[in-house]
Amino acid sequence: MCISGSPAIVEAARLAGVHEMILRMPGGYETEIGLGGAALSGGERQRIALARAVYGTPRFVVLDEPNASLDAEGERALLVAMDALKKAGVTMVVIAHRPSILRHVDKILVLRNGGVSLFGPRDEVIPKVSGPEPTERMTGTGQPGRVRGRRRHAGRPSSRSHRTGARARTG
Protein backbone atom coordinates (compact mmCIF):
# COMPACT_ATOMS: atom_id res chain seq x y z
CA MET A 1 0.00 0.00 0.00
CA CYS A 2 1.47 3.33 -1.04
CA ILE A 3 0.61 6.05 1.47
CA SER A 4 3.33 8.52 0.57
CA GLY A 5 0.94 10.44 -1.66
CA SER A 6 -1.76 10.82 1.00
CA PRO A 7 -2.25 14.56 1.49
CA ALA A 8 -3.66 14.11 5.02
CA ILE A 9 -0.61 12.14 6.16
CA VAL A 10 1.83 14.63 4.64
CA GLU A 11 -0.12 17.53 6.19
CA ALA A 12 0.04 15.93 9.65
CA ALA A 13 3.77 15.23 9.23
CA ARG A 14 4.43 18.82 8.19
CA LEU A 15 2.42 20.18 11.11
CA ALA A 16 4.43 17.98 13.50
CA GLY A 17 7.71 19.00 11.86
CA VAL A 18 8.63 15.45 10.75
CA HIS A 19 8.01 15.59 7.01
CA GLU A 20 11.65 16.34 6.13
CA MET A 21 12.88 13.73 8.63
CA ILE A 22 10.62 11.12 7.01
CA LEU A 23 11.81 12.05 3.53
CA ARG A 24 15.43 11.46 4.67
CA MET A 25 14.59 7.87 5.70
CA PRO A 26 15.61 5.16 3.21
CA GLY A 27 12.04 4.50 2.04
CA GLY A 28 10.50 7.86 2.90
CA TYR A 29 6.93 7.37 4.05
CA GLU A 30 7.17 3.66 3.20
CA THR A 31 10.12 3.00 5.57
CA GLU A 32 9.51 0.09 7.94
CA ILE A 33 10.40 1.25 11.41
CA GLY A 34 9.84 -1.98 13.31
CA LEU A 35 7.58 -2.94 16.17
CA GLY A 36 6.88 0.10 18.33
CA GLY A 37 9.21 2.23 16.19
CA ALA A 38 12.28 0.23 17.23
CA ALA A 39 14.34 1.75 14.40
CA LEU A 40 13.71 5.28 15.72
CA SER A 41 15.20 7.25 18.59
CA GLY A 42 12.94 8.22 21.49
CA GLY A 43 12.67 11.77 20.15
CA GLU A 44 11.85 10.57 16.64
CA ARG A 45 9.13 8.28 18.03
CA GLN A 46 7.72 11.19 19.99
CA ARG A 47 7.64 13.43 16.90
CA ILE A 48 5.94 10.70 14.83
CA ALA A 49 3.41 10.27 17.66
CA LEU A 50 2.63 13.99 17.45
CA ALA A 51 1.97 13.63 13.71
CA ARG A 52 -0.37 10.74 14.45
CA ALA A 53 -2.16 12.82 17.09
CA VAL A 54 -2.82 15.70 14.67
CA TYR A 55 -3.80 13.50 11.71
CA GLY A 56 -7.29 14.26 10.47
CA THR A 57 -7.63 17.77 11.95
CA PRO A 58 -8.74 16.90 15.50
CA ARG A 59 -10.62 19.38 17.68
CA PHE A 60 -9.16 18.07 20.97
CA VAL A 61 -5.61 16.78 21.58
CA VAL A 62 -4.07 15.39 24.78
CA LEU A 63 -0.26 15.64 24.93
CA ASP A 64 1.25 13.65 27.82
CA GLU A 65 4.88 14.65 28.37
CA PRO A 66 5.21 15.67 24.70
CA ASN A 67 8.73 17.05 25.11
CA ALA A 68 10.19 14.41 27.44
CA SER A 69 12.53 12.84 24.84
CA LEU A 70 12.92 15.70 22.40
CA ASP A 71 16.14 17.46 21.49
CA ALA A 72 16.16 21.22 20.86
CA GLU A 73 15.06 20.80 17.22
CA GLY A 74 12.23 18.48 18.22
CA GLU A 75 11.06 20.83 20.95
CA ARG A 76 11.00 23.75 18.49
CA ALA A 77 8.91 21.64 16.10
CA LEU A 78 6.55 20.72 18.95
CA LEU A 79 6.07 24.36 19.94
CA VAL A 80 5.41 25.38 16.32
CA ALA A 81 2.84 22.57 16.05
CA MET A 82 1.18 23.62 19.31
CA ASP A 83 0.95 27.22 18.11
CA ALA A 84 -0.57 26.06 14.79
CA LEU A 85 -3.10 23.87 16.60
CA LYS A 86 -4.01 26.72 18.91
CA LYS A 87 -4.54 29.08 15.94
CA ALA A 88 -6.76 26.42 14.32
CA GLY A 89 -8.99 26.42 17.41
CA VAL A 90 -7.88 23.01 18.69
CA THR A 91 -8.23 22.52 22.45
CA MET A 92 -5.09 20.92 23.90
CA VAL A 93 -4.49 19.39 27.29
CA VAL A 94 -0.75 19.24 27.98
CA ILE A 95 0.60 17.18 30.87
CA ALA A 96 4.15 18.23 31.63
CA HIS A 97 6.91 18.30 34.19
CA ARG A 98 9.26 20.38 32.06
CA PRO A 99 8.10 23.99 32.42
CA SER A 100 9.49 25.17 29.06
CA ILE A 101 6.36 23.99 27.26
CA LEU A 102 4.05 25.96 29.54
CA ARG A 103 4.86 29.26 27.80
CA HIS A 104 2.55 28.13 25.00
CA VAL A 105 -0.60 27.47 26.99
CA ASP A 106 -3.40 29.69 28.25
CA LYS A 107 -4.30 28.06 31.57
CA ILE A 108 -2.42 25.85 34.01
CA LEU A 109 -3.73 23.32 36.50
CA VAL A 110 -1.24 22.15 39.14
CA LEU A 111 -1.94 18.90 40.97
CA ARG A 112 -0.22 18.06 44.26
CA ASN A 113 -0.81 14.92 46.28
CA GLY A 114 -3.82 13.99 44.18
CA GLY A 115 -5.63 17.32 44.44
CA VAL A 116 -5.86 20.65 42.68
CA SER A 117 -3.24 23.00 44.09
CA LEU A 118 -3.48 25.87 41.61
CA PHE A 119 -5.56 26.72 38.56
CA GLY A 120 -5.70 29.83 36.44
CA PRO A 121 -4.18 31.86 33.65
CA ARG A 122 -0.59 30.92 32.82
CA ASP A 123 0.82 34.33 33.77
CA GLU A 124 -0.73 34.09 37.24
CA VAL A 125 0.16 30.45 37.99
CA ILE A 126 3.75 30.24 36.72
CA PRO A 127 5.14 32.78 39.24
CA LYS A 128 3.47 30.84 42.05
CA VAL A 129 5.09 27.53 41.07
CA SER A 130 8.41 29.06 40.00
CA GLY A 131 9.38 30.34 43.44
CA PRO A 132 12.51 32.34 44.23
CA GLU A 133 15.08 29.56 43.84
CA PRO A 134 15.30 27.02 41.01
CA THR A 135 15.78 24.19 43.52
CA GLU A 136 12.47 24.99 45.19
CA ARG A 137 10.44 24.80 41.97
CA MET A 138 7.86 22.17 41.27
CA THR A 139 8.95 19.65 43.90
CA GLY A 140 5.44 19.20 45.18
CA THR A 141 6.60 19.10 48.79
CA GLY A 142 6.93 22.76 49.69
CA GLN A 143 10.51 21.95 50.65
CA PRO A 144 13.68 22.72 48.70
CA GLY A 145 14.55 19.92 46.37
CA ARG A 146 15.23 18.93 42.81
CA VAL A 147 13.29 20.65 40.06
CA ARG A 148 12.28 17.28 38.60
CA GLY A 149 12.03 13.86 40.15
CA ARG A 150 14.68 11.20 39.73
CA ARG A 151 14.52 9.71 36.26
CA ARG A 152 13.23 6.20 35.68
CA HIS A 153 13.20 6.10 31.89
CA ALA A 154 12.53 8.16 28.76
CA GLY A 155 12.03 11.42 30.61
CA ARG A 156 9.40 10.12 33.02
CA PRO A 157 9.80 11.32 36.61
CA SER A 158 9.63 8.66 39.27
CA SER A 159 6.72 10.30 41.12
CA ARG A 160 3.36 11.27 39.66
CA SER A 161 2.33 13.16 42.79
CA HIS A 162 3.01 16.52 41.16
CA ARG A 163 1.65 17.04 37.67
CA THR A 164 1.08 20.21 35.76
CA GLY A 165 -1.75 20.08 33.28
CA ALA A 166 -2.07 22.96 30.88
CA ARG A 167 -4.77 23.82 28.45
CA ALA A 168 -4.24 25.87 25.32
CA ARG A 169 -7.21 27.00 23.35
CA THR A 170 -8.42 29.93 21.37
CA GLY A 171 -11.13 32.30 22.36
Q: Helices 7-15 and 42-54 meet at what angle, rounded to 10?
A: 120
30-57 confidence digits (pLDDT tens): 988 888 887 888 888 888 889 999 998 8
108-165 confidence digits (pLDDT tens): 998 889 999 999 999 999 888 876 544 334 444 444 444 444 333 344 443 444 444 5
Length of the chain: 171
Q: Which alpha helices (H) appear in the chain, and where do they start and end?
A: 7-15, 19-24, 42-54, 72-87, 122-130
This model's pTM is above 0.85:
no
